[in-house]
Amino acid sequence: MKKIVYLFLLLSFNHNVWPEVVVTITKSSDSAIPIAILPFANNIEYTKIAKVVSDDLMLSGQFKALEQEQLIEKPKNAAEINYSTWRLLAADYLTIGSLNETGIGRYEISIKLFSVNDQKQIMSLTLPILEGELRSGGHYLADKIYEKITGIKGVFSTKIAYVTATQISGGIEYQLLVADADGKNAQALVTSKQPLLSPSWSPRGDKLAYVSFEKGNSAIYIQNLSTGQRELMSGFKGINSAPAFSPDGTKIALTLSKSGNPEIYTMDVFSKHLTQISKSWSIDTEPSWTPDGKSLVFTSDRGGKPNLYQIDVDSLKVKRLTFDGDYNAGAGFSSDGEYICYVQGNKNNYKINLRHNKSETSQPISNGPLDESPTFAPNNNMVLYATKNMKGEGILISTSLDGSTKNQLVVSNGHIKDPAWSPVIN
């Protein structure tokens, strides 16, 4: 497990290709809502879009899609629905979709959602879409279905950033990648022969801050995802680490040791003006903003062991948040401010903990023993974190907040770590 003493200790990587993430549902909730996603009519792409919608809903852990062999009837409109059939199949909801070509490379995608118990249509949605955006259209439909049934915004149209490394002749090639929330359509933003780590999204989802060792020493860059341009933000002698965008996007919090000791700073992203926030003889690192932007939660060993502390960025008043365990680090706030996810270690067993901020109570939501780097989904219903599987490979796991649902995200032939879930990208 990485130690607080040095922020850049990397796990050993060894894989030979750069593949997309493969997602496997390893644990489903017993209370998952059964839903029938019928094949989309009128186009050869119908099965692909239906599968995107079905897989998205399944990955949320809150839905259970009927298998293809269970779809014994395929009504094309509301009048053809035999609700008694779907009640016998224990489906609570049913969708009927279509995809029609409206021009060269242009389509119209439609879906209708029906409540089986109420025997009525509860949602209808139609949107134009380009040929290269069919998967994105499927994610959008899944988002709307999820929101209509649960009342919570879906996150299937969001992105995840992560780091991989490839064993090549002469060394290791590191890559910072961005993919759809289901792991598909991965794109490499940065490739380097030196380590890359700690990606952090801007609140608009248009930029990523990250740490690179490409010039020997650690340095913090901000990458513009639309233009591909990047800017060096911090390359001081010593430690430059753990960048985190403020909720309004005007600042980043970061750890610097330019004074000789690792301290928390904030930097204006436009002027690059630095403000020192923490001042102690301990190691202060891994800052994370509260949703209101008024405070930072960070990791410090000022009490003898790594623990979480909260500091007001104006008054600099500090409050200790964790007291249990041998190691508490790597905190991140949910966007609604209700929770903090973090890593807790006890006797070399490291799990992801969830802290309820109102009650100031915590409970583990992962199994360990080498779990790290938790990040909330933007709707706050899931947490994505890094760990190792039985083969010793670095993988990602997404879990519901109660731990009842777990999905495993694996890069074949290798390792993956340092996940960061994007905000909702409009």
Output the pLDDT for position 30.
77
What pLDDT tens digit does each residue of the chain (426 aa) get?
433 333 323 222 333 334 556 777 776 677 899 999 999 876 555 568 999 999 999 999 899 999 989 999 999 999 999 999 999 999 999 999 999 889 998 999 999 999 999 999 999 999 999 988 989 999 999 999 999 999 999 999 999 999 997 777 778 889 999 999 998 888 999 999 999 999 999 999 999 999 999 988 999 999 999 898 999 999 999 999 999 999 999 999 999 999 999 999 999 999 999 999 999 999 999 999 999 999 999 999 999 999 999 999 999 999 999 999 999 999 999 999 999 999 999 999 999 999 999 999 999 999 999 999 999 999 999 999 999 888 778 899 999 998 888 888 877 555 889 999 999 876
Q: How far apart are CA 281 and CA 395, in angstroms?
A: 35
Decide: helix, strand or coil at residue 337: coil
Structure token digits, residue 399: 């879990």
Using alpha carbons, select from 96, 157, 102, 95 the residue that is nearest to residue 128: 102
Q: How far apart are CA 414 and CA 137, in angstroms?
A: 30
Contacts for 307 with CB less than 8 Å, ≥ 6 apart: 299, 300, 301, 320, 321, 322, 323, 328
Identical fold at 31-150 and 158-421? no
CATH of domain 158-421: 2.120.10.30
Output the pLDDT for position 192.
92
218 phi and psi angles, rounded to 5 deg: -65, 145
Torsion of CA 242, 247, 248, 254, to 10 degrees: -20
Output the pLDDT for position 20.
59
> Hunting for tokens 């629905």 — which residue is that?
81
Please give the distance of CA 223 from its chain centroid, rounded to a whole number. Answer: 18
Q: In what order do the strands lie in the sheet with 22-27?
A: 22-27, 406-410, 394-400, 382-388, 372-376
Output the pLDDT for position 6.
31
* Residue ranges of domains in the chain: 31-150, 158-421
Output the pLDDT for position 173.
85
Structure token digits, residue 316: 């600099």
Output the pLDDT for position 413.
55
Structure token digits, residue 245: 């965008």
Q: Across the strands, what pairs with 297?
A: 288, 310
Decide: helix, strand or coil at residue 369: coil
Cβ 166 vs Cβ 148: under 8 Å: no
**Choices 1.10.760.10, 3.40.190.10, 3.40.50.10070, 3.30.230.10: CATH for 31-150:** 3.40.50.10070
Using alpha carbons, select from 390, 386, 406 the residue that is nearest to residue 398: 406
Output the pLDDT for position 426.
63
Contacts for 213 with CB less than 8 Å, ≥ 6 apart: 8, 192, 194, 195, 196, 219
